[in-house]
Amino acid sequence: MPLAHAAHLDSDLIARIRAGDESAFEQLFHRYYRELCVHASRIDRAGGTAEEIVQEVFFRIWMHRERLLPVESLSGYLYAAVRNVALNRLARARTEERWRAAKQVDALDARTEAPAADAEMRETEMAMAIDRAIGELPPRCREAFLLRRQRQLSYAEIAQAMGTSQKTVEIQIGKALRLLRKSLAEWL
């Protein structure tokens, strides 16, 4: 669901979560979990900690649910919270730069403003759209494209790995780019 369309459902959810409604909390969790993991992984590119970061955010929301205030945009708030927790963790990871952590805003202050959240949301939505578009490529085409881009192999190496000719690989990768361009036309 595009984030913008989800906004009108948010105030009701917040009220129910404040009242201790666990099913509302579960709904919130499932609605935003994957998206927030993507967002976290884009802040902390080291990888491997995205799920921990998002768990931390939801954990703190539930533990302090009575402090949850109505916000303009719940998704904006969640994005900002993930961002703060992620940056805090990065800062904490470097003990010699511990002073940085002190400069970070308390992650779950409900008044946290999120000036960058809109742009970050668009970026994350776009990254997910690109990921989806890659997933929807024809299988051989996708395989060739990913070997090319993620493994940085040459045409000859891909041809060998896929048991096909170099010419076919070139055609498949060209096709992948053309199809990606087409399916992402509304995003890019």
Partner 1 sequence: MHDDPDWTLLDRYLSGECAPEEAAAIEGWARSDPSRARLLASMRRVWTEAATPLPEVNADAAWRALRERVAAAERGSDPAPVHAAPIAPVRRATPPSLTMHRMRPTPWRAWRLAAGIAVVVAAGAAGAAGWWRHAGQRPGAAVEAARDYVTARGQRAEVTLIDGTRVWLSVDSRLTVPRGYGAVTRDVALVGEAFFVVQHDAQRPFRVHAGGGVSEDLGTEFDVRAYPGDTESVVIVATGRVALRAATAAAPGAAGARLGRGEMGRLGPDGDVRVTSGVDLDAFTAWRQGRLAFDERPLRDVARVLERWYDIEIAVDDTALASVPVTASFTDQSADEALSILTGALGVRYTRHGRHVRITAPGDAR
Contact footprint for partner 1 (CB under 8 A): 26, 29-30, 33-34, 37-38, 41-52, 54-56, 58-59, 62-63, 90, 93-94, 96-97, 100, 103, 126-128, 130-131, 133-134, 145-154, 156-158, 160-161, 170-171, 173-175, 177-178, 180-182, 184, 188
Which DSSP symbol is given to 37?
H
CB of residue 110 to partner 1, shortest distance in Å: 19
Contacts of 127 (CB under 8 A, 6+ apart): 38, 42
CB of 89 to partner 1, least distance (A): 11
Q: How far is the CB of 71 from partner 1 (least distance, A)?
A: 21
The residue among 21 and 157 lying less far from partner 1, judged by its C-beta, is: 157
Task: Please identify, using beta-carbon distances, which residue of 100 and 140 lies nearer to partner 1.
Answer: 100
* Dist CA 67 CA 27 (whole Å): 19
Using the minimum distance from each CB to partner 1, give the nearer residue, 8 or 103. 103
| Dihedral of the alpha carbons of 110, 115, 119, 123, in degrees to the nearest 10 | -50
What is the SS3 assignment for 97?
A: helix
CB of 5 to partner 1, least distance (A): 20
Q: Which residues of 4-37 are buried (b: 16+ CB within 10 A; e: fewer)?
A: eeeeeebeebbebbeeeeeebbeebeebbeebbb
Q: Nearest distance from residue 73's CB to partner 1, in Å?
A: 19
Q: Which amino acid is at 54?
A: V
Q: Which is nearer to partner 1, 10 or 35 (CB)?
A: 35
How far apart are alpha carbons 4 and 121 in whole angstroms? 10
Are 152 and 183 a contacting pair, CB within 8 Å? no
Q: Which is nearer to partner 1, 8 or 45 (CB)?
A: 45
Q: Which residue, 49 or 75, has its beta carbon nearer to partner 1?
A: 49
CB of 107 to partner 1, least distance (A): 14
Q: What three-state secondary structure class fits 107?
A: coil
